[in-house]
Amino acid sequence: MQSICYSKLQLYALFVLRVLIGWYFLYEGLAKVFTPNWSAYGYLIDSKGIFASLFVRLAENPTLLEATNFINIWGLTIVGLLLILGLFSNIGYIGAMIFLLLYYLSHPPLLFAEYILPTEGSYLWVDKNLILLVTVAVLMLFPASRAISFDNLLFRKSK
Amino acid sequence: MEEEKEINNRKEDKDSSANEFSQGRRDALKVIATVPVLGAMAYGVYRKKKAENTNRNAAEMFRFGSKVAPYSPTSSGAQVIRVGIIGFGIRGTQLMQGLGFATPEYVENLIEQSRINSANTRYQDFVEQEDLRVEITAVCDIFDTYAEAAVNAGANIHREGVGGTLGSKPRRYRHYKELLAAPDVDAVVIASPDHWHGTMAMDALRAGKHVYLEKPMTWTVPETYELRSLSRSNPHLVFQLGHQNRQIEAYERARQIIEKGLLGRISLIETGTNRNDPNGAWVYPIHKDANPKTIDWKQFEGDPDRIKEYMDYMTSAGLSGYVGPESRDKFSLERFFRWRCWWDYSTGLSGDLLTHEYDAMNQILHLGIPSSASSSGGVYFFKDGRTVPDVLQTVFEFKQRELTMLYSATLASQFSRSRKIMGHDATMEVGNTLTVTVDPRSEQYRTQIEQGVVKPGEPFYTYIPGQSVDAVSTATERYFAERGLLYSFISGKRYNTTFLHLKEWLECIRNGTQPSCSIDQGFEEAITAHMGTRAYLEGRTMYWDKDKEQITRE
């Protein structure tokens, strides 16, 4: 691997970005942890696009719905923690991207798709989930923020 | 791991003069640098939860310990009740479906629909609908086609499509009195036109049958008293007035909210009906096979005693203009299928639709019979020769309760208006869900309004059956609930209210108990509706003399 030299500013910018995305995921998870009987049912049932039937099936099968709820609540929380701490960052990044991809595919901002839940902006084909997905990919490919992370400690030791 | 090394090879680290201790401390700091972020998150979450809990405490007064009676299925060993059906028109068909019976053609159509659209679960719902332990042994309809359909529906015991295995066919009777004389009938479901309701119910009670009678209970005022006294003197026969909105969970919670005084003093209730299609205005399709040979017009005309009561009132009150206009013995397909459009058979908006609104409010507030009623309206939109108005406003005064109930209806606009119960402290909107909005001038909630805990003018409490949602529940939850998406999620299954009402009646027959809409509730409702109708017809206020139990003009 070719050596990359980051300026301090670049390093801190990437670090802050990682922590903020982590914060976003962690609170999404915690908010669900603290909402009694939180369920993805309403969100899933409102799915549109070519994968809609898949997501609706998730909602309608009680076992699958329970699993989906569990994965969402704890998956988001854990991804958030990993990104904030910089612990096993790659696992965190990949987890985050999987979640974002699923959210994007279940609610794609299609030309004529109308969702029961109103969005807070106006989107056509590209929405914030997609942008965030690419942002996480960038973070993963430019791992400068590892300078400030638990990974730094772990992998230094293993070295 | 080379890349990490490179990244961390910052200038200072390369400097050999840096001491080990300093570097170790710096590295440790880099590792734990983000831990305070977690602290901030914890603090934020704690503050947010605390604020929510304050709101929750304010909403605490809207929490209720008592639950609406849970759903209990009919046991498979329950006694089978032998039911006779009188009238297999639009409502009769729905009632039979509520009992679990439909024609093979109807079921076939449901199968076809579910094949075309997998999201359509009506077929599945019907097949899975609980077995109420009922046998249809007798049917009666004066239109041959309907009667044959009723026979086929009654025989379709496995709820199959065309070509399925049928059970034994119920017997068809040409006259309802023959059906009532049948020994293999324990109970009857009456879904005839309004002008036959009271007569058939009374004859059924005399024949010793339990009765499920579609609303409105009666067509004339005199028969209302007669039916009540007959039902009261036969308490072992279960009488249920057919009101499918008696089993709505939200109404029970609404009653509790009012009982606790959470709305303050109630002064005004607003209800209404809005429909905007020919079907909703009673312009039902005319069946192609209908003709004087397939329809027993003589029986359709009505019971002579009833017709006399009707004519006596119309003549004595100077209302001959509302009678007819066609002669009663003249065969007419319009009048046969669209009988609700003429007073000769109908009770109008009061009997057909006001009754639903009144029944909802009577359940919640135990209103009883109003002290007076005034009405106005007219035939403004459907100029098809009808005598029954398509626009009607009726104002009921409940002097002793010091409140007014307004009923406002049009059959020519579908604009959605919620039922509102307006109190000094809050207003409640009542539907399948409940919404309570606190009044800015409320005295009861003044402190909470000042503290900012309660935002007046905004929905403060929302009740969704099966779950209590208050000011802190998410917009999403309310959004889905309002669109009915939540029900199937919460209770796992949505129940058809007609099915529930019939189920209650059958359970009462088995247990010897009284149903929720028995003769006394029916009497209150019938008198209330008659007062509204008379006020419209006579163009003046009608009063209720409580002591004499009479409708009077002053």
Residue A74 to chain B, least CA–CA distance (Å): 16
| Beta-carbon separation of B4 and A155 below 8 A | yes
Distances (CA, A) of A45 to A59, A101, B84, B156, B490: 6, 17, 42, 34, 14
- The pLDDT score that the predictor gives to residue B355 is 92
Average pLDDT score over residue span A85-113: 92
Its ipTM equals 0.84
Distances (CA, A) of B480 to A47, A48, B19: 14, 16, 63
- The pLDDT score that the predictor gives to residue B68 is 54
Range(s) for CATH 3.40.50.720 in chain B? 81-246
**What chain B residue is nearest to A20 in terms of C-alpha separation?**
B37
Q: How is residue B148 written in tokens?
A: 């044959």
- Preferred mutation among B13, B31, B35 to probe A, highest tally of A CBs within 10 A: B31
| Beta-carbon separation of B34 and A149 below 8 A | yes
Show Cβ contacts of residue B288 under 8 Å, excluding neighbours closer than 6 positions.
none
More confident residue, B369 or A154: B369
| CATH classification code of B81-246 | 3.40.50.720
Range(s) for CATH 3.30.360.10 in chain B? 249-291+334-432+467-489+524-552
- The pLDDT score that the predictor gives to residue B114 is 87
**Chain B residues within 8 A of A116 when measuring between CB atoms:** 479-480, 483, 485
In a 3-state reduction of DSSP, which class is residue A11?
Answer: helix
For tokens 């009623």, what's the residue? B373
CB atoms within 10 A of CB A37: 9
Instruction: Give the C-alpha separation, B550 to B541, whole Å.
Output: 14
- Preferred mutation among B1, B2, B4 to probe A, highest tally of A CBs within 10 A: B4
Q: How far is CA B131 from the centre of its chain?
A: 22
**What chain A residue is nearest to B487 in terms of C-alpha separation?**
A42
Instruction: Give the C-alpha separation, B123 to B495, whole Å.
Output: 14
**Chain B residues within 8 A of A144 when measuring between CB atoms:** 7
- Identify the sign of the CA torsion A51, A55, A61, A66: positive
In a 3-state reduction of DSSP, which class is residue B5?
Answer: helix
Average pLDDT, 10 consecutive residues per value, chain B (554 residues): 43 49 72 86 87 58 57 83 94 92 93 84 85 94 95 93 90 95 96 96 96 95 96 94 78 85 93 87 92 95 95 94 92 95 95 91 93 96 94 96 96 88 93 84 84 78 58 48 39 66 92 90 96 96 95 90
pTM as predicted: 0.72
Tens of pLDDT, residue by residue over A63-91, are 898 999 999 999 999 999 999 999 998 99
- The pLDDT score that the predictor gives to residue B62 is 61
- The pLDDT score that the predictor gives to residue A118 is 65
Residue A33 to chain B, least CA–CA distance (Å): 11
Q: What is the mean pLDDT of chain A?
A: 87
Please say if the pLDDT value at position A116 is more than 80: no
What pairs with residue B378 in β-bridges? B391
Categorise residue B427: left if φ over 0, alpha if ψ from -120 to 50, beta otherwise: beta
Nearest to B31 among A30, A42, A150 (CB): A150
| CATH classification code of B249-291+334-432+467-489+524-552 | 3.30.360.10
Nearest to A3 among B6, B467, B485 (CB): B6
Please say if the pLDDT value at position A38 is more than 70: yes
**Chain A residues within 8 A of B3 when measuring between CB atoms:** 1, 3-4, 143
* Cis-peptide, bond into residue B465, ω within 30° of zero: no
Please say if the pLDDT value at position A117 is more than 70: no
Q: How is residue A78 written in tokens?
A: 């854990």
Q: How is residue B349 written in tokens?
A: 């908006």
Show Cβ contacts of residue B533 under 8 Å, excluding neighbours closer than 6 positions.
B347, B348, B350, B351, B375
